[in-house]
Amino acid sequence: IKDLNDVINFSDNEISKLENFPNMKRLKGIIAINNRISRIDLELPKSLPNLESLILTNNQIQELGDLDVLGEMKNLKYLSLMDNPVVTKKYYRLFVINRCPSLRMLDFKKVKAIEREEAKQLFNSEQGKELQKSLVKTFEPGEMPKKEARPYQGPSPEEAEKIKEMIKNATTLEEITLLEKKLKNGITADTPNNDNEDEMED
């Protein structure tokens, strides 16, 4: 992979691990919807130091420990893990917010100041640090997750193709994120964006 793009789309493949990226300082966004990703390479933050957007909707990430590496992505602003088993874990949202101080939007919902404070209070005390250690559980190398991700629910095949084409032609991370939200929620490509709902901050 050459460092020529701001955004790379790996959607609808059979990728099981997000890995093997060379040093790519230009890359700011990865879209990897509808894969089988269960792990994120620990070297990814070093390879992609300027990554701002990571869209991993409908994959197979299982444990909070598998997300611990996200804390090393210092510029990460937009993250989607919807339709991954990990989102059902207790403290999931607060855990991610605590690990990723730069995050502005998680699963297409704004990260609010009150959530940051709640996450800080939960995890930054001595008792909280022990809680965080107990939550960080990862698979042994080579072990595959047993639980399947939920089936992907979205728009009609025709509408999905239209939105995917729009995603490919999008020029900003904001456009890509909004289009991916439409793809997930079954909203038609021609539906106007609601600026008052989950509006992104600059």
Do 30 and 54 meet the contact criterion of CB atoms below 8 Å apart? yes
Within a domain: residue 51? yes
Which range scores top for mean pLDDT: 6-10, 139-143, 178-182? 6-10
Pairing assessment for the beta strands 39-40 and 105-106 based on DSSP bridges = unpaired
Residue 196 confidence (pLDDT) above 60: no
Within a domain: residue 41? yes
How many Å is the Cα radius of gyration of the chain?
A: 17
Within a domain: residue 67? yes
| pTM metric for this prediction | 0.72
Within a domain: residue 145? yes
Q: Can you say how many angstroms the Cα of residue 112 is from the centroid of all Cα atoms in its chain?
A: 17
Within a domain: residue 192? no
Please count the structural domains in the chain. Answer: 1
Within a domain: residue 128? yes
Q: Which domain holds residue 12?
A: 7-153
Within a domain: residue 125? yes
Question: Residue 81: which CATH number?
Answer: 3.80.10.10
Q: What is the pLDDT of residues 54-112, one digit of tens each?
A: 999 999 999 999 999 999 999 999 999 999 999 999 899 999 999 999 999 999 899 99
Within a domain: residue 179? no
